[in-house]
């Protein structure tokens, strides 16, 4: 089966990074999974993803401890730290946690770093399915500048593909559904690791289990769009995204540039949604334990852009601490229907920080008006520009109400950083 079949609509789920950094524990993963199954699964939220360094027993935050021992099996493959994931004891790996999540009707994902553990290379441990060892396939000058766990893998060496095959064989045994691979879409030192992307694609295809492949971090270069589409299901358009207006402001340009390079099974990724209670044990994003610093207008603007662009939606906050407002952003069925079923999204214009996007549905047109300036502005678009030749009555999707009919121009006064998302019948 073509790997695009694994993600015909943009994946939606929860990822542990924004609230727990590198430190998430099994009980916290299960707690968020329980909440998702009870409150969000019916709206399409289904992936539960354990982010970085689950093999590090002593992780304390999103600040990585350099050159510390990681838990690893005899074949150079990292395994969960048992003190944080007790069900991984006795060589069980993530299989019991995956079973727990699957029994809730959800899907299970993990984060990995590109390459092979440095400790495997230093200890020269074995590779399953090969008589070569970790030292034979490592590329020691291919490192990640912000994390010391791994060396790159040299695709020209015998045993290199076997190593990646063995990794995904293990993940298939654990019944993993989603794999986020880091330091690969845009390495800060080397650009895009095209050959390791291809090895990973081949390994997933050989493992016998469908897995969504997500590549990080960004910004992935537009010139590699074809490579990314041919090998992955989603890839980051941005470096780590946090609850800072400047980062949201910049995302409009990123979405515009990538707007023609997406479709069923291949989704440019605007990164996680830093909403709700975040920073619990994460020191990134410029502040510790907090609720999102985005204003309500900014939260709506972010959700509107991600949804009309059809980015994957990965919630970053501690779900169990969601308030009614945050839940309203995640459970608006009309917005989520647009995210799931619309097509042909495009930026109609951008001028003086006034932006209009549209997308098509079966019998409706979606129109998003944004004011990303720091002052109140009127944002408008004529019905002619939307190829509509009749009077229409827009529906405000976030406020779930019909608005006054218009016969020539859609026009609204918007506060700074605010937006309005409309649906009109064709």
Do 251 and 290 contact (CB within 8 A), yes or no?
no
Do 330 and 315 contact (CB within 8 A), yes or no?
yes
Distance, CA of 242 to CA of 286 (rounded, Å): 9
User: Which residue reads 């008589």 in tokens?
Assistant: 131
Give the torsion sign (CA, 405, 411, 413, 414). Answer: positive
* Nearest C-alpha neighbor of 355 from the set 404, 311, 309: 309
Give the torsion sign (CA, 163, 169, 172, 177). Answer: positive
- Is the model's pLDDT at 287 over the cut of 80? no
What pLDDT does 285 receive? 67
Q: Mean pLDDT across the stretch 283-301?
A: 90
pTM for the complete prediction? 0.97
Q: Mean pLDDT across the stretch 50-65?
A: 94
Q: Mean pLDDT across the stretch 107-118?
A: 98
User: Which residue reads 């997406």 in tokens?
Assistant: 262
Contacts of 387 (CB under 8 A, 6+ apart): none
Distance, CA of 340 to CA of 334 (rounded, Å): 10
Contacts of 228 (CB under 8 A, 6+ apart): 185, 197, 215, 220, 235, 266
Q: Strand 47-50 relative to strand 12-15: parallel, antiparallel, unpaired?
A: parallel
What pLDDT does 157 receive? 98
- Is the model's pLDDT at 242 over the cut of 90? yes
Residue count (the chain):
426
Q: Mean pLDDT across the stretch 303-319?
A: 98
Q: Mean pLDDT across the stretch 269-297?
A: 92
Q: Mean pLDDT across the stretch 296-307?
A: 98
Pull the structure tokens for residue 119. Answer: 């400790």
Q: Mean pLDDT across the stretch 271-281?
A: 97
E strands, 274-384, are 277-278, 290-291, 313-315, 343-351, 354-360, 364-371, 377-382
| pLDDT tens digits, one per residue of 159-213 | 999 999 999 999 999 999 999 999 999 987 888 999 999 999 999 999 999 999 9
* E strand or H helix that includes residue 401: strand 401-402
- Is the model's pLDDT at 83 over the cut of 70? yes
Pull the structure tokens for residue 17. Answer: 């990074």
* Nearest C-alpha neighbor of 142 from the set 111, 202, 184, 112: 184
What band does 1 get if pLDDT is binned at 50, 70 and 90?
confident
- Is the model's pLDDT at 245 over the cut of 90? yes
Distance, CA of 71 to CA of 209 (rounded, Å): 24
- Is the model's pLDDT at 426 over the cut of 90? no
- Domains detected in the chain: 2-341 (3.20.20.70), 346-425 (2.60.40.1180)
């Amino acid at each position: 089966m073509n790997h695009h079949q694994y993600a015909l609509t943009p994946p939606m789920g929860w990822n542990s990074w924004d609230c727990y950094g590198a430190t998430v524990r099994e009980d916290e993963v299960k707690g968020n999974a329980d909440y998702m199954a009870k409150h969000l699964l019916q709206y399409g939220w289904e992936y539960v993803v354990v982010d970085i360094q689950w093999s590090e027993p002593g992780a304390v935050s999103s600040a990585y401890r350099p050159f510390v021992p990681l838990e690893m099996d005899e074949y150079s493959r990292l395994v969960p730290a048992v003190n944080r994931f007790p069900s991984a004891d006795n060589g069980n790996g993530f299989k019991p946690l995956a079973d727990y999540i699957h029994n809730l009707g959800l899907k299970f994902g993990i984060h990995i770093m590109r390459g092979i553990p440095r400790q495997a290379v230093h200890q020269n441990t074995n590779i399953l399915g090969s008589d070569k060892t970790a030292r034979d396939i490592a590329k020691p000058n291919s490192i990640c500048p912000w994390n010391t766990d791994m060396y790159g893998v040299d695709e020209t060496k015998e045993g290199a593909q076997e190593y990646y095959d063995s990794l995904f064989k293990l993940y298939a045994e654990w019944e993993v559904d989603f794999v986020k691979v880091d330091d690969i879409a845009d390495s800060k030192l080397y650009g895009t690791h095209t050959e390791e992307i291809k090895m990973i694609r081949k390994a997933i295809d050989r493992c016998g289990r469908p897995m969504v492949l997500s590549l990080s971090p960004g910004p992935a270069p537009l010139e590699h769009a074809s490579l990314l589409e041919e090998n992955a299901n989603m890839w980051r358009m941005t470096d780590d995204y946090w609850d800072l207006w400047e980062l949201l402001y910049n995302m409009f340009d990123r979405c515009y540039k990538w707007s023609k390079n997406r479709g069923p099974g291949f989704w440019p990724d605007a990164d996680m949604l830093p909403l709700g209670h975040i920073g619990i044990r994460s020191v990134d994003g410029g502040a510790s334990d907090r609720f999102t610093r985005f204003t309500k207008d900014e939260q709506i603007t972010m959700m509107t852009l991600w949804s009309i662009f059809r980015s994957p939606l990965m919630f970053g906050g501690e779900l169990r601490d969601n308030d009614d407002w945050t839940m309203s952003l995640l459970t608006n069925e009309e917005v989520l229907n647009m995210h799931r079923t619309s097509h042909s999204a495009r930026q109609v214009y951008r001028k003086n920080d006034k932006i209009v996007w549209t997308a098509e549905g079966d019998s409706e047109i979606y129109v998003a008006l944004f004011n990303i300036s720091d002052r109140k502005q009127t944002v408008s678009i004529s019905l002619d520009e939307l190829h509509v030749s009749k009077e229409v009555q827009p529906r405000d999707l976030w406020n779930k109400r019909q608005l006054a009919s218009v016969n020539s121009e859609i026009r609204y006064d918007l506060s700074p950083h605010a937006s309005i998302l409309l649906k009109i019948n064709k």
